[in-house]
Chain A
Amino acid sequence: MSGPASGKTASSKPASGNQTSTGASAAEQALVKASVRSGWLLSTPALVLLALAAVGPLLIMLVYSFLTPGEYGNVEWGFSTDAWTGILFTRDVFDDTLRLEDAHLSILWRSVKLSLMTTAFTFAVGFPTAWFIATRPQRQRGLWLFLITIPFWTNLLIRTLAINEILRTEGLLNNILIGLGLITEPIQIIYTDTAVFIGMTYVYLPLMVLPLFAAIDRFDMRLLEAGYDLYATRLQVLRRIILPVVKPGIIAGSILVFVPALGAYVTPRILGGGKQMMIGNFIELQFGQGRNWPLGASLSVTLLVIVTAALLVYVRFANREVTRG
């Protein structure tokens, strides 16, 4: 930027000054070039790491999805689109026609449904929580935020197993309900969608609360008085002022919850048993017992596409909302 600009001023100056300013601008340009070069140099390790660890595996996945499965896992070189049709369809053994595969559809649908529910519910619970923390006196906030992040200190597997202990048929929840005489027979929660939903809500709640807190913390509480002063009801103040202003926090929180929820593996594995699979478990199955690596690869790519598409739509929609007011 500074290089061409100073070159222009130099050319408009009288000839006597021309020599020195052109020299200066050349030196400047050299400096800019050097700093750009050193910038690239410094970021090389990160770029190499990204290329190897992110782009490389993705390309391998993409290639694998067009190959044929090997008998004992792995892939065999031979072009096939079976892995892609196999996401939604199954080939009839007798007449070789394609039928929609209900089991696959239900897994996809469950993944999207549970992730959306988790996002919505963590928002419903997380927003009041974040509001509560952000409106505490400055000294107390640290403590509340610390409490919110405590679950991160323990391994996800162990926390999920602990939830399993609470929800299982002879678990804490059922024992308490029976002890209180509210039910006589244990309720089946574990290994249902409900259990997966409860588990994911618990796991992802902090990821919703933290960005919401950051946004509400920046919110100017005097805007509330301005809203009431201009005849808005409490609900209108919430809808017309608070939510639009903290929208960046809502978007960030939703993305942070929805994306990992869609690819969740541990939680549906433990709380959903083997039956209530989500995409993550389904993919794992293809690389393990299923011995269908191409299908696993095509499912992985599909998951990536769904997440990217969902994000694009969501961000576009949210931005339009913001500008429209």
Chain B
Amino acid sequence: MNQTIAISAQNVIKAFGQGDHAVRALDDVSLDIRKGEFFTLLGPSGCGKTTLLRLIAGFEMPSGGTILLDGADITTLPPNKRPVNTVFQSYALFPHLTVAQNVAFGLEMLGKSKSEVTARVAEMLALVKLEPLAHRKTSQLSGGQQQRVALARALAPQPKVLLLDEPLSALDLKLRKEMQIELKRLQTETGITFVFVTHDQEEALTMSDRIGVMSAGHLQQVGSPKEIYTRPKNRFVASFIGETNFLGATRDPMGYRLDCGIVVQAPAAQADRVTLTIRPEQLRLVPEAEGDIPAKITNLVYFGTDTHCHMSLPDGTEVTARLQSPSDGESGLQIGQGIGLRFVPGALQVLEE
């Protein structure tokens, strides 16, 4: 992959309101987005991800910090001077124009020649498979079709970066799955850098080359979907993406001593008091005598493909293991039964607090 940087946010601060009432939507965020990658900003609502997107688009000016595009400072550039286009959450299609006119809008504003506009619009409509609807008004289209028009319109001027603000949130589940694949295809075919904002962790994991997890105006962790999932940096990232178990532990000469008294091996950290995390599918259940840790089954929940086994450790800590359901659906486990827990080697992660 080409490793040059498309967007670089440096110590970006965005405060809303004034004086004592000011709220920092973004608090000293620094981030590099590589050229040609599918980058996702993931976080709960109000975490600042949309604000960061709007700063890149130029709809808002940062209260502090710098934003670079291909190494050039665009911090104070108005949105119509930035070679960056946006797919809006509400699509914001022009209701008085046809599909083709919507797609042509940006090209016309850039002063492209008529023949060039016509050719490019045809190309874009083919890309999103909307040629038969070129002369329809956008109000006559379904949600999924409007979504495609919004994509074609934003891609037509060949922006250096395409910003997507939760574009799939208005679609139903089936359409959303289709559009996820479609978006990934468009990104690969055009080679344009995509910056995608979502609160849906599954969407982020399936589509992204890299993910930036945000919370409370801070960037918590940046990494590939695998890194984010298997090596979360802190408690927020670990719990926001997928399900996980948290175990309190204290540093011990032999490794870490869990609160239930058992010493385990895990990557070294600075602090004496840490939280360890392990994913439910990385826990193995064995007969009580063979396990590293004794546990007691408190509940069993059947999900079809797998079964969630809720257990309590000797110190009262609750943990969950995800077991693949056997072919006959009978796990042979019973609520109240004692059982042994074993960690998959290397699966235990240490979190920074």
Contacts and interface: CB of A to CB of B under 8 A. Distances in A.
Interface of A: 220, 222-223, 225-233, 236, 240-241, 244-245, 247, 322, 325
A230 B153 contact: yes
Contacts of A231: 80-81, 106, 109-110, 157
B267 interface: no
Given A225-B59, A230-B105, A220 B92 contact: yes
Contacts of A227: 94, 105
B57 A229 contact: yes
B78 interface: yes
Given A220-B92, A223-B94, A325-B101, A228 B110 contact: no
Nearest to A231: B109
B147 interface: no
B153 A225 contact: no
Interface in B4-24: none
B85 A229 contact: yes
Contacts of B106: 230-231
B105 to A, nearest CB: 5
A244 B96 contact: yes
B95 interface: yes
Given A230-B153, A232-B80, A225 B88 contact: yes
B92 A236 contact: no
Given A229-B57, A230-B105, A231-B157, 18 more contacts: A220-B95, A225-B59, A225-B86, A225-B92, A227-B105, A228-B59, A228-B79, A229-B79, A229-B80, A229-B84, A229-B85, A231-B106, A231-B110, A232-B80, A233-B80, A233-B109, A245-B95, A325-B101
Contacts of B96: 241, 244-245, 247, 322, 325
A247 B78 CA distance: 27
Contacts of A220: 90, 92, 95
Contacts of A232: 80, 105, 109
Give the top 10 A-B pairs by smallest Cβ distance, nearest first.
A230-B106, A226-B92, A231-B109, A228-B79, A222-B92, A244-B96, A232-B109, A229-B86, A231-B80, A228-B80
Interface of B: 57-59, 78-81, 84-86, 88, 90, 92-98, 101, 105-106, 109-110, 153-154, 157
Counting chain B CB atoms within 10 Å of each CB, which of A231, A240, A245 scores highest? A231
17 contacts: A220-B90, A225-B92, A226-B86, A229-B57, A229-B80, A229-B85, A230-B109, A230-B153, A230-B157, A231-B80, A231-B109, A231-B110, A231-B157, A236-B109, A245-B94, A247-B96, A325-B97
Contacts, number: 68
Contacts of A245: 94-96
Contacts of A325: 96-98, 101
Contacts of A228: 58-59, 78-80
A223 B92 contact: yes
Contacts of A229: 57, 59, 79-80, 84-86, 154
Counting chain B CB atoms within 10 Å of each CB, which of A225, A241, A245 scores highest? A225
Contacts of B109: 230-233, 236
Contacts of B57: 225, 229
B88 A222 contact: yes
Nearest to B78: A228
B98 to A, nearest CB: 8
Nearest to B110: A231
A226 B80 contact: no
Nearest to A241: B94
A308 to B, nearest CB: 27
Contacts of A233: 80, 109
B134 to A, nearest CB: 14
A325 B109 CA distance: 14
A298 B97 CA distance: 44
A226 B103 CA distance: 12
A66 B288 CA distance: 114
A226 B58 CA distance: 12
Contacts of B58: 228
A231 B110 CA distance: 6
Counting chain B CB atoms within 10 Å of each CB, which of A230, A240, A244, A325 scores highest? A230
Contacts of B101: 325
B94 A226 contact: yes
A223 B95 CA distance: 9
A231 B81 CA distance: 6
Counting chain A CB atoms within 10 Å of each CB, which of B59, B92, B97 scores highest? B92
A245 B105 CA distance: 15
A222 B79 CA distance: 14
Nearest to B86: A229
A196 to B, nearest CB: 36
A228 B77 CA distance: 12
Contacts of B88: 222, 225-226
A233 B84 CA distance: 15
Contacts of A226: 86, 88, 92-94
A242 to B, nearest CB: 10
Nearest to B85: A229
A227 B80 CA distance: 8
B74 to A, nearest CB: 14
Contacts of B90: 220, 222
